[in-house]
Amino acid sequence: MYITTKGRYGTKALFELALRHGEGPVALRTIAQAQNLSEHYLEQLFGTLRRAGLVKSIRGAQGGYVLARPPEDISVGDILRALEGPIAPTECALHGPEYAIRYCGDSWPCVAQDVWVKVRRAIEGVVDHITLKDLVEQDRQAKKAWAEMRAVL
């Protein structure tokens, strides 16, 4: 599976919302500047993220976006599925052996399909268990370690 700019930018943008969780709506311009992303591109992504139920838009002068759920309830897998589609290296890994017969033209069972299903499950096992809260905590720990290291130098 190749993660495009949609998945990468979407993850960074929602990470920024998680960092600011509880502070009220955040403007796309603020998110774009904080994460060094294109504001225009974020506009496109946030429509999809809103329809997927991951963010809410708040209108008005003080408007912007907020997470639709707490950071601990949104996984990287949720973001990737919303923006990239199903997490699978091949179609047969997503749909099962009967699809592989039509898709590949191979007789069932296809030896490679088992590998692709294992790859899909391994990826899901990682991205579905890393939440936005985890990313925020990882960022805080990294910044703390960096500050401590700089203090020593």
d(CA 149, CA 124): 34
**pLDDT beyond 80 at 6:** yes
> Which residues face 143 on adjacent strands?
none
Residue 106's pLDDT is what? 62
Phi, psi of 133 (to 5 degrees): -60, -40
Span 7-55, pLDDT tens digits: 999 999 999 999 999 999 999 999 999 999 999 999 999 999 999 999 9
Residue 30's pLDDT is what? 97
83 within 8 A of 48, measured Cβ to Cβ: yes
Q: Which two tokens stand for residue 28?
A: 């796309």
By three-state DSSP, how is residue 65 classified? strand
Q: Residue holding tokens 């998110």?
A: 31
Q: pTM (2 decimals)?
A: 0.88
Span 62-117, pLDDT tens digits: 899 999 999 999 999 999 999 999 988 887 787 776 676 676 766 666 778 888 88
The structural domains of the chain, ordered by start, are 5-152 (1.10.10.10)
Phi, psi of 131 (to 5 degrees): -100, 170
Name the DSSP class of 58.
E
